[in-house]
């Protein structure tokens, strides 16, 4: 995989990497059906290894003469961000992209990840072959600076959903549980397995973001400033994962703390790249300004950033032993047999996303209770305003007014919650879709159908209150006609809310 950081030397706990991999005692928490317990009883257990991750072929990334420009308007023309940048990331390397603010680090990373393709010249080679973007996006993942997670899912639920989506049906549920177990144990997420993501700390959120993408062991991983908003412990877990994974090339730009766990450094300045063969002094100079007091107290800084040789250098890490259910050693980037589709079928994606969306909506008690409360209260108000008009032919206009306000209310109560909440979920959808979790079609149908039961229940409550308080004719057909009209109005309004919410941002 591919990994990059921004500034200063590696941090080493006294005792070496073995000390880093020791299991941290946790509070009591048991993973259902997974045999995990975080209680610290008896002697310290041997650190769990990621031995059941799918085995992937090595990937080398090379970019030559990359030039990227952005438009500044008709009069000002184009501004060049990257100017003939070239470099190479080898499999098994933990590489850092360094440079001052505005030098083009994030731009280079977005181009290498395939997120920017316009106004771009130059070539990107994968194992000395021209990159096929769709295939490359399937074998890579991008962990962004902001940790985008669904707030109403627990850590274990999020990991299980990730495993079900990213590991195909050829992997049985038992093997998936083992993969989830190993990753959570390695990243010390067992103690918060039943905690909702909205209650996690910054470091736990970052570790969970890494764990979600590590499920299928992608050959290439891009990290954008993983330490800026996280606790300093994230610097321990990244090397731990790198040590356990088959070969790990991350691209990370360090932020506040300035710590770096890279073996190779690519410096970016004024849109140009320089591969540093002796990066120790550069990192030491920056570390004197970046390393915090907390790190200096708990960790021993050491200039172990070498010349790209050894365990994380040009020599690939040894392959991991894997179970027969996950063994994929015959896979090769050069044999042309890669599938470019998603790991799971569209139907499987739909049912997983439908369950996840329904669960998230049901657990959003504030939104659900407010919608329920508004339908009851407004139904009573409309019923009192138009009380008893249904049996009087002289009040036809009042009856029309009652129907008008009913349609208006149901339209806005179905549309506005979707407009307000969907933009907040868009960031999660973009991350998961671009990392090849599922298709857009599956997400849309799941998002639409998951809200139908709520729309039907709320419409029934409202119509039942208004219909009987306004003394409408007690005929089943009339009641069902009004109810059908109200339900259809709510569903159409919800679709409009998805359209508007997808086009706007909530600031």
How far from 244 is each of 48, 326, 395, 456, CA to CA, in Å?
A: 9, 16, 77, 49
Contact 420, 507 (CB under 8 A): no
Give the tens place of pLDDT for each residue, 151-170.
999 999 999 999 999 988 77
- Rounded to an integer, the average pLDDT of 267-284 is 51
Q: In DSSP terms, which residues pair with 71 in a beta bridge?
A: 78
Q: What is the dihedral of CA 428, 431, 437, 439, to 10 degrees?
A: 80
Beta-carbon contacts of residue 482 (< 8 Å; ≥ 6 apart): 403, 463, 467, 472
| pLDDT for residue 251 is more than 70 | no
Count the alpha carbons within 13 Å of 142 in the hemisphere toward its beta carbon.
24
- Rounded to an integer, the average pLDDT of 252-264 is 41
Contact 72, 59 (CB under 8 A): no
Output 25 or 187, whichever has higher pLDDT.
187
CA 366 – CA 348 distance, rounded (Å): 30
| pLDDT for residue 33 is more than 60 | no
| pLDDT for residue 414 is more than 80 | yes
How far from 229 is each of 70, 184, 294, 391, CA to CA, in Å?
A: 28, 21, 15, 64
CA 339 – CA 236 distance, rounded (Å): 35
Output 450 or 507, whichever has higher pLDDT.
450
2-61+88-301 under CATH 1.10.510.10, yes or no: no
Q: Strand ranges (DSSP E) for 243-396?
A: 250, 264-269, 272-276, 300-301
CA 296 – CA 122 distance, rounded (Å): 42
Contact 217, 56 (CB under 8 A): yes
Contact 66, 86 (CB under 8 A): yes
The predicted model scores a pTM of 0.72
How far from 52 is each of 245, 350, 489, CA to CA, in Å?
A: 10, 26, 50
Give the tens place of pLDDT for each residue, 200-236.
888 888 889 888 988 888 888 888 776 655 555 555 5
| Short-list 285, 283, 280, CA closest to 307 | 280
Per-residue confidence (pLDDT) for residue 339, from 0 to 100 = 52
| pLDDT for residue 176 is more than 80 | yes
| pLDDT for residue 442 is more than 90 | yes
The rounded mean pLDDT for the chain is: 72
User: Which residue intervals of 117-253 are DSSP H helices?
Assistant: 133-139, 155-166, 173-186, 202-214, 234-244
């Amino acid at each position: 995989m591919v990994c990059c950081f921004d500034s200063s030397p590696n941090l080493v706990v006294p005792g070496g990497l073995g000390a880093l991999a020791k299991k941290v005692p946790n509070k009591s928490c048991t993973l259902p059906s997974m045999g995990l317990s975080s209680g610290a009883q008896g002697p310290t257990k041997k650190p769990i290894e990621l031995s059941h991750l799918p085995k992937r072929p090595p990937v080398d990334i090379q970019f030559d003469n990359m030039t990227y420009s952005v438009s500044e308007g008709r009069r000002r023309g184009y501004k060049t961000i990257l100017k003939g940048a070239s470099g190479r990331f080898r499999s098994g390397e933990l590489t850092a992209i360094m440079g001052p603010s505005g030098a083009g680090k994030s731009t280079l990373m977005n181009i290498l990840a395939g997120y920017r393709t316009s106004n771009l010249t130059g070539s990107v080679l994968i194992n000395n072959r021209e990159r096929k973007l769709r295939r490359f996006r399937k074998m890579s993942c991008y962990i962004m600076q902001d940790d985008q997670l669904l707030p109403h899912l627990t850590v274990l639920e999020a990991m299980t959903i990730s495993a079900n989506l990213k590991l195909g049906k050829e992997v049985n549920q038992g093997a998936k549980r083992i993969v989830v177990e190993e990753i959570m144990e390695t990243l010390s997420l067992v103690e918060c397995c039943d905690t909702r993501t909205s209650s996690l700390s910054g470091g736990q959120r970052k570790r969970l973001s890494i764990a979600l993408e590590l499920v299928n062991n992608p050959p290439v991983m891009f990290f954008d400033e993983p330490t800026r908003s996280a606790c300093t412990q994230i610097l321990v877990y990244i090397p731990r994962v790198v040590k356990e994974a088959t070969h790990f090339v991350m691209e990370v730009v360090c932020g506040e703390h300035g710590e770096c766990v890279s073996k190779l450094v690519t410096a970016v300045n004024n849109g140009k790249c320089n591969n540093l063969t002796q990066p120790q002094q550069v990192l030491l100079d920056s570390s004197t300004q970046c390393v915090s007091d907390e790190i200096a107290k708990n960790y021993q800084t050491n200039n172990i950033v070498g010349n790209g040789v050894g365990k994380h250098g040009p020599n690939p890490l040894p392959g991991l032993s894997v179970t027969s259910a996950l063994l994929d050693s015959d896979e090769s980037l050069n044999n042309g047999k890669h599938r470019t589709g998603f790991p799971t079928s569209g139907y499987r994606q739909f049912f997983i996303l439908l369950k996840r969306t329904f669960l998230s909506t049901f657990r959003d008690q504030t939104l659900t209770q407010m919608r329920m409360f508004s339908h009851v209260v407004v139904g009573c108000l409309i019923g009192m305003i138009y009380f008893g008009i249904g049996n009087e032919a002289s009040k036809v206009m009042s009856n029309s007014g009652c129907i008008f306000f009913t349609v208006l209310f149901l339209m806005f109560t179905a549309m506005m919650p979707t407009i307000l909440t969907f933009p907040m979920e868009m960031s999660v959808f973009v991350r998961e879709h671009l990392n090849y979790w599922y298709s857009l079609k599956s997400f849309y149908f799941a998002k639409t159908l998951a809200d139908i039961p709520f729309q039907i229940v709320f419409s029934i409550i409202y119509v039942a209150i208004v219909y009987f308080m306004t003394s409408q004719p007690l005929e089943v057909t009339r009641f069902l006609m009004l109810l059908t009209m109200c339900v259809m109005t709510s569903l159409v309004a919800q679709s409009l809310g998805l359209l508007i919410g997808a086009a706007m941002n909530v600031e």
